[in-house]
Amino acid sequence: MSSHVVDHQRQPTNSISSLSDKLTKPWITTSVFIFVFFFIIILLGASLSWMDMFSIGGSRIKVTPIFTRNTNATIPKKKISTPVNFTLQCSLDQNIATQMCPASNPEKSQPSKDDPETCPDYFRWIYKDLEAWRETGITRETLERASDKAHFRLIIKGGRVYVQQYKKSFQTRDVFTIWGIVQLLRMYPGQVPDLELLFMCDDLPEIWRRDYRPRPGVNVTWPPPPLFHYCGHSGAFDIVFPDWSFWGWPEINIREWNKMLEAISEGIKKVKWEEREPYAYWKGNARVGKRRDLMNCHDPMVHLYRQDWWKEGRIGYRTSNLEDQCTHRYKIYVEGRAWSVSEKYILACDSMTLLVKPFYFDFFTRSLVPMKHYWPIRPREKCSDIVFAVHWGNNNTKKAKAIGRNGSGYIRKNLKMKYVYDYMLHLLQSYGKLMKMNVEVPQGAKEVCPETMACPINGGRMRQSMDDSLVMSPSVKAACEMPPPFEEDELKRFLEKKESIEKEVEKWTNDYWEEQKKILKH
């Protein structure tokens, strides 16, 4: 068998040898030609050092010149800065018990401070929100007095985040709030100080000013305990912080803020403002707060829709996309049990926002101005005020359109996701400076990072929200610079101006309805 193999191998070898003999002379001739051709090209490259490219058969071949005009010249090396990329380091085992945080923290970033910008005006409210602790600072005893009200304690130490959970919040409010803070440390590594904070995830504020006013026979402990929360009230000390929905609200199919704002921006292009329905529109959970009264407004100029989230979930949220709800000239904002996350989506819609005067505020809304960014509506006169606003807008379309554009412009300009992180950064830096205590990681607290939070989740809207909002690299631009705090007279004038505008609109409304009564009598 071996001789057969040898013979079988020899036959092709002989054939190749024969073919090689036939091609020997042409190959030699071609080789000489190619050698001469390339030799000429090299000489040309030496004499014309600027000519470093030529084409053969349509392909570009790079030729490096052997000689240059100055053989002693040194070519400076261009420094290439490679952006840091924070990819998730998920283990193969998706068991949360085995998923670990990376051993090392991202190095402190040095973002560019070229062309520094001043933060939006609403950042000035940070000074007011922390005013109660300016003189005393925050001691361990002060902080602990809020522990029974908090859903979780969050500790930042050495650039790492630890959480001690006290109770579960509604849906995933706590999860995405913690997720947002973890992203902040990726956005601005090394810039968030060591601190401890207590966070409450319910609707209503908890630390009321009335409980800390001196009263006869009552021993009042000052200062109040600091408690972070999503909304504030003029009668509360809660420290206002961006709500969880900026990183997604998967339970009702709301994506993270960048994607939602992009979707709404595309949605408003579908119908020109002048061609939108000339009515007021509202859709939401009608079973809470001031919304119950709103549903009693039975006027053809007001279109109200109850949102059944359970039913919506069963049909895949086909009729609740926020970007599809920018089809009316006027959109109503009304609080639920407290403030509502819907405010930013309504303002972004380009419609004139009919804002039922809120009792509560979130971090960006206190600098909104009536008749510039929205039309004010009285809580006890909701229906009549809304109907007049629609009549006024349809008779003053340019002004109504401008108010709508100003409102959406405020959101697009001042509520970019970078500004959300900048607000968080400045707030936590200012809060950290007030701490007069050693930052400790308590027993039972667990370290959290993107890996421990996202890696164990296999698909679904929750993981998608995390993937979409994951900060992939440090900011190349420094955080905006804090504007100065309000002077007392300045803040007083601002609040008085808002009140004066509201009273003027109230007069227009009352005059309109008085005129309607006279018409009906005749």
CB 303 within 8 A of CB 291: no
**How confident is the model at residue 112, as a pLDDT?**
76
The yes-or-no verdict on residue 122 having pLDDT over 60 is yes
**How confident is the model at residue 56, as a pLDDT?**
29
**How confident is the model at residue 47, as a pLDDT?**
39
The percent of residues above 70 in pLDDT, for the chain, comes to 83
Compute, in degrees rounded to 10, the torsion defined by CA atoms 233, 234, 235, 237: 70
H-run or E-run covering 465: helix 460-469
| Euclidean distance between CA atoms 368 and 491, whole angstroms | 13
The yes-or-no verdict on residue 29 having pLDDT over 80 is no
**How confident is the model at residue 132, as a pLDDT?**
97
Per-residue CA distances from 232 to 17, 102, 174, 253 (Å): 91, 36, 18, 26
Q: What residues does 306 pair with on adjacent strands?
A: 284
The yes-or-no verdict on residue 35 having pLDDT over 80 is no
**How confident is the model at residue 491, as a pLDDT?**
95
Confidence band for 13, pLDDT divided at 50, 70 and 90: very low
Lowest mean pLDDT among 32-46, 128-142, 213-227: 32-46
Lowest mean pLDDT among 133-137, 190-194, 215-219, 277-281: 215-219
Give tens-digit pLDDT for 82-104.
456 778 888 876 555 678 898 87
Give tens-digit pLDDT for 175-187.
999 999 999 999 9
Q: Tell me which residue of 440, 519, 476, 500 sits closest to 115, measured CA to CA.
A: 476
**How confident is the model at residue 373, as a pLDDT?**
98
The vertex-299 CA angle with 297 and 305, nearest 5°, equals 60
Query: Between these two residues, 44 and 412, which has the higher pLDDT value?
Result: 412
Give tens-digit pLDDT for 326-336.
999 999 999 99
The yes-or-no verdict on residue 81 having pLDDT over 60 is no
Beta-carbon contacts of 298 under 8 Å, excluding residues fewer than 6 positions away, are none
Give tens-digit pLDDT for 123-162.
999 999 999 999 999 999 999 999 999 999 999 999 999 9
| Euclidean distance between CA atoms 203 and 340, whole angstroms | 9
> Is the previous residue joined to 205 through a cis bond, with omega within 30 degrees of 0?
no
**How confident is the model at residue 522, as a pLDDT?**
75
Give tens-digit pLDDT for 249-269.
999 999 999 999 999 999 999
Count of other CB atoms within 10 angstroms of residue 73: 8
Highest mean pLDDT among 11-25, 211-225, 263-277: 263-277
**How confident is the model at residue 45, as a pLDDT?**
43
For the segment 157-177, the average pLDDT, to the nearest whole number, is 96
The yes-or-no verdict on residue 27 having pLDDT over 50 is no
CB 256 within 8 A of CB 469: yes
Q: Tell me which residue of 72, 460, 470 sits closest to 247, measured CA to CA.
A: 470
| Euclidean distance between CA atoms 354 and 386, whole angstroms | 7
Residue 202 phi/psi, 5-degree rounding, is: -80, 180
SS3 state of residue 78:
coil
**How confident is the model at residue 267, as a pLDDT?**
94
The yes-or-no verdict on residue 453 having pLDDT over 60 is yes
Tokens of 68: 């240059």
Kindly report the average pLDDT of the chain as a whole number. Answer: 85
The yes-or-no verdict on residue 72 having pLDDT over 60 is no
The yes-or-no verdict on residue 515 having pLDDT over 90 is yes
Beta-carbon contacts of 182 under 8 Å, excluding residues fewer than 6 positions away, are 161, 448, 449, 450, 453
**How confident is the model at residue 84, as a pLDDT?**
65
Q: How many CA atoms lie within 13 A of 431 on its CB side?
A: 27
Give tens-digit pLDDT for 289-298.
889 999 999 9
Query: Between these two residues, 417 and 67, which has the higher pLDDT value?
Result: 417
Q: What residues does 328 pair with on adjacent strands?
A: 277
**How confident is the model at residue 244, as a pLDDT?**
98
For the segment 278-289, the average pLDDT, to the nearest whole number, is 93
The vertex-350 CA angle with 475 and 498, nearest 5°, equals 90
**How confident is the model at residue 313, as a pLDDT?**
83
| Euclidean distance between CA atoms 348 and 504, whole angstroms | 25
The yes-or-no verdict on residue 383 having pLDDT over 90 is yes
Q: Tell me which residue of 478, 331, 343 sits closest to 415, measured CA to CA.
A: 343
**How confident is the model at residue 97, as a pLDDT?**
63
